[in-house]
Amino acid sequence: MKTLTSITMLILMASILSLNSCISMGAAMTMTKHNSNLHPIILIPGSGGNQLEAQLTSDYKPSSLFCHLHKGTGWFRMWFDPTVLVAPLTRCFAERMMIYYHSDINDYRNAPGVETRVPHFGSTKGMLYLDPNLKGLTEYMAPVVSSLEQLGYKDNQTLFGAPYDFRYGLAANSHPSKVGTQYLEDLKALIESAAASNNGKQVILMAHSLGGLFALQLLNRNSLSWRRQFVKHLVTLSTPWGGAVQQMLTFASGNTLGAPLVNPLLVRSEQRSSESNQWLLPNPSLFGSRTLLISTSNNKTYSSFDMPQFLEDIGFKEGVEPYKSRILPLIEKLDKPGVPVTCMVGTDVETPHRLVYGAGGFDAEPQVDYGDGDGTVNLISLLRLESEWSGSKNQVLDVIKLPGVSHSDILKDKSALEQIIRIITEINMEYVTLKE
């Protein structure tokens, strides 16, 4: 299981909102009139925000008889699979989701005998619900897509999806990152294809949570001329630009984020193995020397500068080297992309600010001290672009704060959807005005 956006999706209730509550009738009529002038949109999900399929080969060696389920049956949906909620099968799920760092190739790979693929790349189909059979419980992008469709957007024509294997992340440029780099290449090709099929109109990228980090990396790893030719605007929702304290809880004691019946210790190893989870640990350049975690069992305190020692002390020594060599250089600085950026963030929701582990050590749940944020990501991280890019003459940045809107509710909350539709409407009206 994943942190930040995956398990929270298990408890989302179906609530596709009417466009009539999001925009005025006049705006709706204007957009209908000019729907041939829509800038294509590519939706980029957050961690755990799309379906993931797997097949088990003869090299797969299950840890128990329970885990023989699906072996030799071909492709099946690994995420989301409701069997994860059944205790004997939770361990099976976790061992299949594990990825491993190989020092000899300086990169990550799946567990032996587990092959994975991301279905429906280019479409929003695999992002609407994590399990189409459990729509009410696993709804994700459905409310956003429904609202955009009422503006005239159509899947695979003007509206596209860019799902990915969210277990994998990226690394600093000097290090290989096969899966993450391939995703950026596929996303770039999708952007160019979407523009070409829409008369050369630039693409709007809309990304939730971790997806915003991928989107910014894509922009900054391509030339400024390419960005300005193909990308009209980047819209991010709840992106953790500098990581989150909650991620330390995930690494230390496992985190179900409210999923019923699941023992967090059974999924802890899988969560630790995730390359993208390391990417989301609190950023030293942002959180600094402030105490983020206290452990009374070993009489230690940890700040964002102490992540290597923290990883070793929780029993995840194998994560230290990739964190130091691959992640730290990646997160030091966020370069400005030179295309307009709008950040929507939730505020005024209790968010883990500091963790205190008692005599039970890291196998026990901590005491949590709360601060401001969206319930998952700390406010300082959500507003990192504002603090670092403000005043820049070469970067357009707009930050929209939504009091009381949580990390996942930003995809379905009425006020959030109103803002999304307003932003997209204004971007498209810019094109109409220039054309006329």
Q: Is 9 helix (H, G, I), strand (E, B) or coil?
A: helix
Domains of the chain, start order: 7-435 (3.40.50.1820)
Bridging pattern class, strands 203-208 and 231-237: parallel
Known catalytic residues are 209, 374, 407
Rounded to the nearest angstrom, the gap between the alpha carbon of residue 371 and the centroid of all alpha carbons in its chain is 22
Q: Is 281 helix (H, G, I), strand (E, B) or coil?
A: coil
Which helix (H) or strand (E) is 246 found in, with range?
helix 246-253
- Range of lowest pLDDT (169-183, 218-232, 249-263, 391-405): 249-263
| CA–CA dist 46, 251 (Å, integer) | 19
pTM for the whole structure: 0.91
Enter the tokens of residue 307: 């992540």
Q: Please check the confidence at residue 17 and state whether its pLDDT lies above 60.
A: no
What per-residue string of b and e applies to 185-203 under the rule 16 or more CB within 10 Å gives b?
Answer: eebbebbeebbeebeebbb
Q: Please check the confidence at residue 366 and state whether its pLDDT lies above 80.
A: yes
| Longest Cα separation, the chain | 69
What pLDDT does 89 receive? Answer: 87
Angle at 301 between CA 295 and CA 306, to 5 degrees: 120
| CA–CA dist 124, 50 (Å, integer) | 9
The torsion of the CA quartet 297, 303, 304, 310, rounded to 10 degrees, works out to: -20
Answer whether the bond into residue 214 is a cis peptide, omega within 30°: no
Is residue 365 a contact partner of residue 357, using CB atoms and an 8 Å limit? no
Is residue 262 a contact partner of residue 85, using CB atoms and an 8 Å limit? yes
- Range of lowest pLDDT (30-34, 193-197, 401-405): 30-34
Report pLDDT digits (tens) over 113-135: 999 999 999 999 999 999 999 99
Q: Is 198 helix (H, G, I), strand (E, B) or coil?
A: coil
Report pLDDT digits (tens) over 234-258: 999 999 999 999 999 999 999 986 6
Find, among 431, 1, 86, 80, the residue nearest to 257 by Cα.
Answer: 1
| CA–CA dist 235, 43 (Å, integer) | 10
